[in-house]
Amino acid sequence: VYTPLVGAGGELVASGAAQAGQVDPALEALEEDWRRLRELAAARTGALAENAEYLGYKADQEDALRWLQHGIG
């Protein structure tokens, strides 16, 4: 949806149509919002990967602790 919309907006601005003055600022705002959304998605992906790694370590630690308790008990 984003790419065709930006393409159509760019064509409208390039054509010099009367609406170009309204479309150009809206197009710039859309591009900025899209850039920010990509940044947020990348940050969220990184946070999820860190959480998954932590949970893996935690599970390993809990398994080792159970093993030690079972072996001693």
Q: Please, are residues 13 and 23 in contact by the beta-carbon 8 Å criterion? A: yes
- pLDDT tens-digit profile of 8-58? 888 888 888 878 888 889 889 999 999 999 999 999 999 999 999 999 999
pTM over 0.75: no
Q: Given phi > 0 = left and psi -120 to 50 = alpha, else beta, which region is 24?
A: alpha
CA distance 25 to 19: 11
The pLDDT-based confidence of 4 (bands split at 50, 70, 90) is confident
Q: Can you give the pLDDT at residue 73?
A: 56
Alpha helices, H only, the chain = 2-15, 20-72
The arithmetic mean of pLDDT across residues 61-73, rounded, is: 87
